[in-house]
């Protein structure tokens, strides 16, 4: 069924409820439906076979998403942070795209693309000049196309079908289940699968969408207060910055009931602090991939509370249990299912799993299973624990070492704010282990900080097998995260080998950035 029906059904339940924007705004569900049906007419008249959007998140995103769906063409939100020529390359991979950009993004695109429509003008014209159209039957083609971030390779165009997305929403959300006072704060960009999930899930549940287009931690807290936000979703880097911005003082956010986080692994110290700062908020971890139409496993508020209270096995390091309709399997490298509790590759199956790529076909096996390329195991209670990407494995002297093993130990060191472990090429060992560490006492120079390379190595050596001890320890001010909180491991490896920051005049000592190397 067409995803547009999700919007229609909510409008039939309560069409006068505010759907978008401020509390006292007039963008109701009825208005959203009426607009999307006129936008669909404009898309059809243009002859376009896809709608590409380059811009910040905001009310135009659901308008164009549902308008495209009603017209039966895919909606393709693109990463507005990419340079114009890269965006032009992605647009060249789409079928006759209608290109719409916001005021901020259009200038960068204009030199590289023939026709770029300005968001505000185009939408106003589409709604003002057209009659509503009949909604297209759900086409076999995608409802949404998302390009992967391409941290390891050329971006892939993931196709999410109407069936994938409606299965996800119907399986995880009840129609009109939100109270009319509920509001969700969307801080993720539109080109992230969580941005697509946010639009569809919240529309179907009848929860007003409020946008924070350009994330800033204080602006996020202000928006929660001003818009009386009840629900929010953030990626881990946002959570870390919110925690930092509070200065350790719990902010007054009485309306906030749930805070979901996900999209990348979360550092345990950040989560611990967040739980302490928002004691009345229900925390939820969501795990999913672009290819799976967002969330496939959930760790809910009860698990978070239980962890804080202690008293039962801690699930905080887990991504929770699979959502209804999603089957999981752990397989070894030969594709055979592993015995319960053993670590292996995570495979998933279900109606929401697309795993279909433009130009690449389907990545499903004959029985409909998709390899996530994440390492994982399932505990006795059915909780899923992740152990890093298969692609990130370090092979040192023939031994497979997963960076997450070492990272999980080091983030628990009180003087470590963040850490990434990567393999770097080595003639003798094939690869060696490098740990890039961000000190918690940021700004402290090497001689002021109590944390040096020997302390880092000793901390790991005391807790893991000797082969896990980092060969190299590098201190840096930050790790290279992308805008959606994904760590670019490629760039971490480059950090290891780049020269140290210049030594300030007058100081004979090396500053933070010292590369320390030991023979073992």
Partner 1 sequence: MKITPGSRLRSTVSSTEVVVVRAPAVDLDLTCGGEPFLAFGPSDTSPAKPGDTEAATANELGKRYADPSGAIELLVTKAGSGVMAADGVELVRKEAKPLPATD
Give the footprint of partner 1 on this chain (CB under 8 A).
Answer: 1-2, 5, 8-9, 12, 134-135, 137-138, 163, 166, 170-177, 184, 194, 197-198, 200-202, 205, 207, 231, 233, 258, 260, 262, 282, 284, 286, 294-295, 298, 300-301, 323-324
If the CB atoms of residues 138 and 456 are measured against partner 1, the closer one turns out to be 138
If the CB atoms of residues 326 and 433 are measured against partner 1, the closer one turns out to be 326
Work out how close the CB of 235 gets to partner 1 at its nearest, in angstroms, rounded to a whole number.
Answer: 12
CA distance 227 to 224: 6
Work out how close the CB of 137 gets to partner 1 at its nearest, in angstroms, rounded to a whole number.
Answer: 6
If the CB atoms of residues 209 and 409 are measured against partner 1, the closer one turns out to be 209
Nearest to 418 by CA among 314, 265, 285: 265
If the CB atoms of residues 57 and 345 are measured against partner 1, the closer one turns out to be 57
* Ranges assigned E (strand) in 93-250: 97-101, 117-118, 142-147, 157-161, 183-186, 208-211, 231-234
Work out how close the CB of 343 gets to partner 1 at its nearest, in angstroms, rounded to a whole number.
Answer: 25
Nearest to 8 by CA among 26, 27, 34, 40: 34
CA distance 82 to 222: 29
CA distance 204 to 206: 5
If the CB atoms of residues 195 and 388 are measured against partner 1, the closer one turns out to be 195
Joined together, the tokens standing for residue 330 give 């752990």
Work out how close the CB of 177 gets to partner 1 at its nearest, in angstroms, rounded to a whole number.
Answer: 7
Work out how close the CB of 517 gets to partner 1 at its nearest, in angstroms, rounded to a whole number.
Answer: 43
If the CB atoms of residues 282 and 430 are measured against partner 1, the closer one turns out to be 282
**Are 36 and 66 spatial neighbours (Cβ–Cβ below 8 Å)?**
yes
DSSP 8-state assignment for residue 213: S
CA distances from 432 to 279, 402, 403, 443, 488 (A): 42, 12, 11, 28, 19
CA distance 70 to 405: 47
Work out how close the CB of 143 gets to partner 1 at its nearest, in angstroms, rounded to a whole number.
Answer: 12
Nearest to 68 by CA among 156, 3, 147: 3
If the CB atoms of residues 232 and 437 are measured against partner 1, the closer one turns out to be 232
Work out how close the CB of 179 gets to partner 1 at its nearest, in angstroms, rounded to a whole number.
Answer: 12
């Amino acid at each position: 069924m067409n995803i547009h029906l999700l919007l229609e059904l909510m409008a039939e339940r309560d069409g006068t409820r505010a759907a978008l924007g401020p509390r006292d705004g007039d963008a109701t569900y009825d208005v959203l439906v009426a607009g999307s049906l006129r936008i669909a007419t404009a898309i059809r008249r243009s002859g376009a076979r896809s709608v590409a959007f380059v811009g910040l998140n905001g009310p135009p995103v659901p308008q164009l998403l549902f308008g495209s769906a009603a017209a039966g063409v895919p909606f393709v939100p693109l990463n507005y942070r990419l340079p114009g020529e890269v965006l032009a390359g992605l647009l060249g991979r789409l079928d006759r795209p209608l290109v719409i950009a916001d005021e901020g993004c259009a200038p960068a695109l204009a030199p590289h693309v023939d026709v770029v429509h300005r968001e505000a003008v185009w939408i106003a014209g589409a709604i003002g000049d057209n009659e509503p159209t009949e909604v297209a039957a759900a086409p076999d083609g995608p409802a949404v196309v998302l390009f992967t971030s391409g941290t390891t390779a050329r971006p892939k165009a993931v196709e999410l079908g109407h069936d994938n997305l409606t299965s996800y929403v119907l399986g995880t959300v009840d129609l009109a289940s939100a109270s009319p006072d509920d509001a969700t704060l969307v801080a993720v960009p539109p080109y992230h699968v969580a941005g697509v999930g946010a639009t569809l899930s919240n529309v179907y549940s009848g929860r007003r969408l409020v946008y924070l287009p350009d994330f800033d931690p204080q602006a996020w807290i202000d928006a929660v207060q001003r818009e009386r936000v009840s629900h929010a979703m953030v990626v881990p880097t946002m959570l870390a910055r919110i925690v930092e911005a509070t200065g350790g003082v719990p902010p007054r956010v009485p309306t906030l009931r749930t805070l979901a986080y996900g999209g990348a692994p979360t550092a345990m110290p950040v989560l611990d602090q967040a739980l302490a700062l928002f004691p009345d908020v229900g925390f939820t971890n969501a795990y999913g991939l672009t290819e799976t139409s967002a969330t496939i496993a959930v760790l809910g508020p009860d698990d978070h509370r239980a962890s804080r209270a202690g008293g039962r096995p801690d699930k905080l390091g887990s991504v929770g249990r699979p959502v209804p309709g999603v089957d999981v399997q752990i397989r070894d490298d030969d594709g055979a299912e592993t015995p319960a509790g053993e670590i292996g590759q995570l495979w998933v199956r279900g109606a929401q799993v697309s795993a279909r790529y433009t130009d690449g076909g389907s990545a499903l096996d004959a029985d409909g299973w998709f390899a996530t390329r994440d390492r994982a195991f399932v505990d006795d209670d059915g909780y899923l624990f992740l152990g890093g990407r298969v692609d990130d494995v370090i092979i040192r002297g023939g031994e497979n070492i997963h960076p997450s093993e070492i990272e999980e130990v080091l983030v628990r060191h009180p003087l470590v704010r963040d850490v990434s472990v990567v393999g770097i090429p080595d003639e003798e060992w094939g690869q060696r282990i490098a740990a890039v560490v961000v000190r918690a006492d940021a700004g402290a120079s090497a001689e002021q900080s109590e944390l040096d390379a020997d302390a880092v190595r000793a901390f790991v050596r005391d807790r893991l097998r000797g082969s896990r001890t980092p060969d190299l320890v590098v201190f840096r001010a930050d790790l290279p995260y992308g805008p959606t909180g994904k760590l670019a491991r490629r760039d971490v490896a480059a950090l290891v080998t780049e020269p140290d920051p210049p030594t300030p005049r007058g100081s004979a000592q090396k500053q933070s950035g010292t590369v320390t190397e030991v023979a073992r």
